Structure formats: C-alpha cells, structure tokens
Amino acid sequence: MYLPRNLIAHLYQNLLKRNHAAAPPVLLLVALEPDALCACRILTALLKRDYIPHKIQPIAGYGDLTRAGQDLVRPMRTLDGGSGGVVVCLGVGGMVDMEEILGLDVDENGEGGPGDVEVWIMDARRPWNLSNVFGTPLSEDPVTGELVRKQQGLDKAKLLQAYQSSRGGVIVFDDGDIDDELSAEREAYIALEEMPEVGEEDGLAEDSEDSENDAPPESGQQTKKRKSWGEDSESEMEHSDDERPRQRRRSNSGGSIPSSPERRPARRGLISAATGLGGSSDFSRSDSPGSRSVSPAMAAPKEKSVRSLRKQLMAMRNKYTGVLEKYYQLGASYAEPVSSLVYSLASELGREDNDLLWNAIVGVSSLELYGRTSSGVGLNPLSAAGGSAGWNGDRGELTRSVLRDEVRRLNPTALGDIAREHSMGDSTGVIPTSAKSATDKSIRLSPEPRFLLLRHWSLYDSMLHSPYLSAKLHIWSDQGRRRLDKLLAKMGVSLTQCKQNYTHMDMELKRGLRERLLKFAPMYGLDGLVPPPPRNGDYKDGWGFVRCWGWKACLSAIDVGVILGAILEVGDAKSLNHSSFDPSNFSGTQDHSETVSTQANNEMIRDIQEHITARFWTAYDALNSIDLMVEHIHTAQHLHRAILRTGTALIEKKQIRHLRAFRMAVVKEGPDVQLFTHPGALTKLALWIAEAIVELNGTKGKNKGSELVMAGLDESRGLYVVVGLGGGGATETAKERAAKRQTRIVAKEAKRSAKAVDKEKKRQLRIQRNLAAGLEEDEIEESEEEEDDDSSSDEDEEEEARKGFGRNRFGNAFQEVVRETGARVRMDSFEACVIEIRKEDLGGFLERLSMQAVVG
C-alpha cells in the first residue's frame, strides 16, 4: 500500500487519535546515514511534542533488519501476544519485501500475517519493492469467510482519506513518484494479483485434447486454495545463504510476482515461474477475441475454448510480468531525501521551526557527499549555479529552493539589520563566519564555495582537500600544488595568511574572497566554484545554508553533514580497530578451517553491534549538541586527509586499471587501509578518484568515463569491501543538459510534424483504396485508430528507453556475476552497489564483471 503525497499527515493523525497511556511505543528503525539520522531527529521531535512513546533502533544492514524483525517486530503482533503498533523505517527496506524480512507474511497454510503491526516506509532509494507499494494484507471477508485483499479506504493499494489504521500492513510514503511515474507498474501488479489460477496439470490435460474440440468442460476450472505471497520462487539462487531476504513473492494467481531488483531469474525461468508450464514458446502467441474470420451470416461467434482462453491468460501474465521486470532492470536511483519528506510531514501538521528545518537542510545537503543522485551512486551532475547546487539535477535544486524559501520565512531579516548587511556586504555575498549576537541561532543563506570545512581549517587546507578543486587543479601532483599556489597569489592572498585558521585571516581578505574567486577561478577552469551574485533581486540561486550557535560556533549544512558522516564511518579518530559489518554469512561453500565457531562469531557480532550503536548515538546527540559537534571536527579532518593521501598514492603509483566496462582501483596497503573498510568512507574515496579520472582522461562516449569499482581490503576478515560508482551524468553541466534537452524537444517536434504529413498522405490513399473496395466509413476510422495506437506506443517505448538511461546498474551486475562465478559474497548493505567478497574470489569476480553492463 502507499500513502499519496497530498495525504502525508493522514497516518500520523490516525496515530494521534489512537494514542493513550497504555499504547505500545512506536518503533523507529533508522539507517546509519546522515539523511536518515536527521529524519529521525525531526520525527522524534514530533512524537515527543505529542507525548507518543517511541523507541529507536539503529540498523546497519539487512542482517540487522532481520534480527530486528525477529527480536522487536514479531513480538508486537497480536498473534504472538503483543498489542500491535507502528514501525517506522527511515532509509530502511524500500528495496526488499518488508513483510517477509520482518516476519509479517502469511505462510502457505494461511497462518501468520501483520497482526495489527503497521510498517511505514520512508526511503529515497529506488527502485521500490513493488510488493511494499502495491501489496495489500489479507483480511477475512465477514460474509463469505474467505481471505481477501480488499479494505475500506483503499483504491488499488492507494490509501484514501477514509482509510483507518486497523489491520496493519506495509505502507510506503509516496514522494510523488508513485502516482506520477508508476501507473503502468501499478496496473501490471494489480492485474497479476487478480488473475485466476491456472495449474500445470490443467494445461497438460488440455494439451492432450483434440484441438478441434472447442467445447469447454462442464466443471470449468477447478477452484483452488489461494496461496500466500510468502512462498519462495524456485528460481532463487541456490548457492546463496547470506542474510539478504528472498526476493520474489507468490501471487494468488499461482505465478510469481517480481518484487525486487535482486536475484532476478533468467528470462526463460521467469516465464516458466509465471506460467507454471516451463516457459513453452506456444504461450508467446495469443488469440484475441474476435480474431477469427466470421461470416456475416453467422448469428454469433463460436465460444473460445478453455485452451484458447488459457493461452490468452498466459500471454497477459507474461506481458505484465515483463512490465515489472523492466522496472527492476532500470537500475538504482535516488528520489526525495527522507529528511525532506519528514519535514513535509511536520509542515503539514503546522509544527515546523528552525531546529526541524535545520535538520532537514543537513539531511538534504548530505546526499551529495555520498554521490547519491537521480542516476544512483555516482558523481553529482555539475551545476552552473556553483556552490552546493550539484545534487540530483533540477529536482535537487527545486528541493533546495523550497528550503531557501523556508529559511526566509522562519528567519526574517530585522529592519535594523538590513542596512548593516548592505554596509558589510552580507547581502551581496560575504561568507558569514560569526553570529550576529550571543543568542543568535538563526539560519542564513550563504554563498558557500566548493571548499571543505572552510571555517574550521585554514583556507589552504580547505581548498587542498576539496574534491572538486583537487580534480580540477590535479592537486595530487607537484604541478597541481604549484597551480594552487599561483591561484592564491593572483587573488592577492599570501601563503602566510591562507595557512592560518580562516577565522583569523585578515577581515578585508575574507570580505573580498568571493569576488576574487569569481574573477580568477575561471582562469583555471573552476567555473561554478562559488555561486554567482544574486539575480532578480534577492533570489540566491545555488547559495548554501549556515547556522550559528551564538559565539560558540558557526557551521554550514555541508560541514555538519561531513562531521556526521565521519562520526558514523570512523567513530573516534583515535580508535580505528573495528570494522562495520560482522564476518559471517558468506555465500557459497567454505573450508572447515575458515568457519568461525558459533560462540566466537556471536561474541564478535555483539561487539561490532555495540560499536556501531555507540557511533549512532554519538551522531544522534551531536545533532542537538553544538559542543559535541565541534569536538568531532578533527574526526572529519582526519578522514579527508586520509582520502587525499590514499587517492594521491593510487594515482602516483598508477594503480588505477582500465577494464572493458569500468575503471578499477584497490586499496590494500598504506596507513589508512583499515579506514576504508567502511562502505561510506570507501564511497567518498571512490568519488574523489572518479572526479580525478574524469579530469585526467576525459570521457568516452555519452556520459561515460566515471564508472569505477573501488575495493578496500579488510585483512582481519580476509575480504574486500567493494563499491561500484555509475556515471551519474557528472560530465555535463546544467547548461549542457538544458541544451541537450532542448535539442531533443526540437527533434521530437520535427519528427512529429513529418509523421503527421506522412500520415495524412497515407490516410488519403487509404480512403481512396477503401472506398474503391466498398468498405464502410467506420472501418476506415478503425484502421486510423489502430495506426494512432501504434504511433503512441512508439513514443511510450522511447520514453521508457530514456527513463533508465545513465543509471547505476552495478547492483544488477553484481547479482549476475555471483550466479555465474559462484563467488563468495555478502550483500548486507542497503546500497545495491556495495558488497563484501572473499580475497581469493576478487580477481575472477572483477574479470567477469567487466563484461557486464554497469550503467544504463
């Protein structure tokens, strides 16, 4: 089921109505990432304000999610003696079947179910698991006593205003994409759900009949008991025993409904599972009603045989199954951040304030640090607006524009400060570094440059560790360092000034920094290094966000995102001995000598889990404690120094290989090798390397050149952590994308005009030919409508082809290679493009991966 965007507060208001002193606490399952963490802060503030008890559980991956389902969610069910309740998933579970992984599904005997447990899913990762979006829980019909999927207040899995939370189930919060873009998938899923059962035995019996005998049997099709969606598909990967949940669900029509992009069966196997008849080629032909030639003298057409109707049913099932498979094949992408969605909920409830707004801004800003774009994990598209306007193209800029409006609304400029801002240059682009007063906690717009931790480092170090600046100036080489020195010299900033703390620099230099960057940066190809001056009055396109806490500190949203990420990925910079994931549950066979004892393994899991939980709560507390946030600035600096050191070493030693479909780099030595066993830190290093590669070697073909596989060695566990970056459209600026879009529109219009002229010519010839043959007018119109349908279908196919272009398909490719090679891998991360693989299996795995399509 899914909740449309215009009813985003409906479920929360229902929760308020049901809240009482003895109500069970709301369980929050939160991913270990800044966006989900900020969303958790916003939601808990709402729950506290309404006196709703709640419990927070950090979730590191699918293994944690399975354990949380077993230990925390299942005991909530009324079937297990609980009292039901609400489970809210923030950045968790959008791509897997949550009923199955949390243990809320119905088994083959019709037992089990949600048990009044309602699961809310807010996740930015795509593609959705369509079982979460369009599946509805079974309930008993009061009249017939049968199990049905119809509930009051639902319209084909879409929640209406009349919906009342009662029986539980999985509910996805729609950010607008489901209603706007998934209409075909919704139709296909519902059609597969409602199709009647057709068993294999019935088909064999019909095949043995004489094809001329068209009379249906007296009894018709034998009724069968409905099967639950919890049954496993026979096409499941046999060699895998990892903790990723099984990825296909059984429909009540006897065929399997594709429900996840992972572990897709081969096409022939899919058709076999959907039809129940081994995928015979006979089912590719369908007899549409009225397709036989009928003499006008006949009173009525002959009734279709059961066999013919069954063939038609199989063709429809294959068609709809193909629609769902095509959706999963599009590849990974990101939609609206979770923190933005939860802030929309607060706004709808009328609860917004500066603290909630700041959390939303930090969550949205953090996505670009991890390369999360509308094309999956990869380089952010370049933006002509500069600053932090690189995330998710037009949609990301629209989100930031809304947040800027919220900043103006909740932080109006006092009349007395207007003259001060003009005199000091704040309104035209001075980068703020201090509060206006000791009690000032307002949020301000700031022309943030693409530097890193500028207010907490020297200007030189901030520029040196900026991924954008490093790539453009080739900072890993001596020549690149000299180029940076020359840029500073042209700007009139001495090395003595730029190497002291930025807040201690000369005031005149700080006030004029942005103007000097705008003047001299283009000489070094640094277009968009800082946002341009405001245009159209006070409209500040590309500007970032800054908040001060009196005289204590002044932080930008990007700075906070960097610090939170460092806390989650590094913990304490002084202690780097713990990895992020437990070493158990590798796919495939293992030698007995490699097997860890159960007791030792459980102890290791508990130890790592405690360490991860400690990191989570440190980051959670830091969001509400400026002192704790400032204390961990050195952790963020340590991480980015390590990224610069390691990236420079890889480039200087020429350890970046160019394979057929992507480039590859492996971190297996050096002082920081253990640091990059965390997927988040490894992703940041990969993004740094990818930007350098694009700058060094350019691109080959359309949006190609930044596909990269980065592996980090974890010697203590004998494995590599692997992340795959897609193209992400990173080699195009906003102006180039707009120009290409306009070119496509013009070409499409010209094609449509030419097609209309050609169509009119054919129409006149057809009319003359049909009239000469004595056909009626309605037959002429019918043929015209058929041609119109063909042209519209062609346009639909073109749109579908463009829809998945450029997306990161490493997750799909990883699954294919694992099936082909039998490599021992573990896919526990919520990112489909992140896996763990045994040391000895990496070579063969990468060799076979180089033959796959990794970007759409």
pLDDT in tens, 76-93: 998 888 888 999 999 999
Q: Which residue has the higher pLDDT, 226 or 618?
A: 618
pLDDT bin (cut points 50, 70, 90) of residue 573 is low
- pLDDT score, position 432: 84
Residue range 816-836: mean pLDDT, rounded: 91
Quick one: pLDDT band at residue 256, thresholds 50, 70, 90?
low
The pLDDT, as a whole number, for residue 530 is: 85
The H-or-E segment that residue 405 falls in is helix 393-410
Give the C-alpha separation, 613 to 314, whole Å: 50
Q: Cβ distance 26 to 47 under 8 Å? A: yes
Whole-number pLDDT of residue 447: 87
Mean pLDDT calculated for residue range 714-734 = 75
pLDDT at 600 over 80: no
pLDDT of 15: 93
Q: Which residue has the higher pLDDT, 464 or 208?
A: 464
pLDDT of 762 strictly over 60? yes
Hey, what are 543's tokens? 């500007």
Average pLDDT of 771-790? 52
Give mean pLDDT, residues 206-223: 41
So what's the pLDDT on residue 726? 82
Least confident of 417-421, 454-458, 701-705, 711-715: 701-705
677 within 8 A of 714, measured Cβ to Cβ:
yes
Lowest mean pLDDT among 162-166, 260-264, 283-287, 680-684: 283-287
Q: Between 584 and 333, where is the model more confident?
A: 333
Q: How confident is the model at residue 561 (pLDDT cuts 50, 70, 90)?
A: very high
Q: For the whole model, what pTM was predicted? A: 0.80
Of the listed ranges 182-191, 564-573, 762-771, the one predicted with least confidence: 762-771
d(CA 836, CA 654): 24
pLDDT at 668 over 70: yes
**276 Ramachandran zone, left/alpha/beta (phi>0; psi -120 to 50):** left
Nearest-angstrom CA–CA distance, 63 and 245: 9
In the structure, what pLDDT confidence band is assigned to residue 392 with cuts at 50, 70 and 90? low
When mean pLDDT is compared across 161-175, 202-216, 229-243, 601-615, the lowest value belongs to: 229-243
- Per-residue pLDDT at 574: 56
CA distances from 748 to 599, 751, 759 (A): 65, 5, 16
Could you give the CA distance from residue 655 to residue 653 in angstroms, rounded to a whole number?
5
pLDDT average, residue stretch 179-188: 91
Span of 11-25, 122-136, 780-794, 795-809 with lowest mean pLDDT: 780-794
740 is written with which tokens? Answer: 């290409």
Work out the average pLDDT over 517-526: 88
CA 193 to CA 254: how far, in whole Å? 9
Percentage of the chain exceeding pLDDT 70: 70
pLDDT at 453: 92
User: What was the pLDDT predicted at 538?
Assistant: 56
CB atoms within 10 A of CB 846: 21
The confidence score (pLDDT) of residue 435 equals 87
pLDDT at 434: 85
Task: Extract the tokens encoding 671.
Answer: 């002082």
pLDDT at 379: 83
Given a cut of 50, whether residue 338 has pLDDT beyond it is: yes
User: What integer pLDDT is reported at residue 115 of this predicted model?
Assistant: 85
Q: How confident is the model at residue 344 (pLDDT cuts 50, 70, 90)?
A: very high
Interaxial angle between packed helices 393-410 and 354-366, expressed in degrees from 0 to 180 and rounded to the nearest 10 = 160
Per-residue pLDDT at 290 exceeds 90: no
pLDDT band at 198 (very low <50, low <70, confident <90, very high): low
pLDDT at 746 over 50: yes
pLDDT band per the 50, 70, 90 thresholds, residue 787? very low
> What does the pLDDT average to over 257-269?
45
| Amino acid 642: pLDDT | 95
Which of these ranges, 28-32, 232-236, 534-538, 572-576, has the smallest mean pLDDT? 232-236
Write out the two tokens for 491.
Answer: 């700007």
Predicted confidence at residue 405, as pLDDT, reads 92
Amino acid at 418: I
Give the closest residue to 524 by CA, choosing from 570, 573, 579, 469. Answer: 469
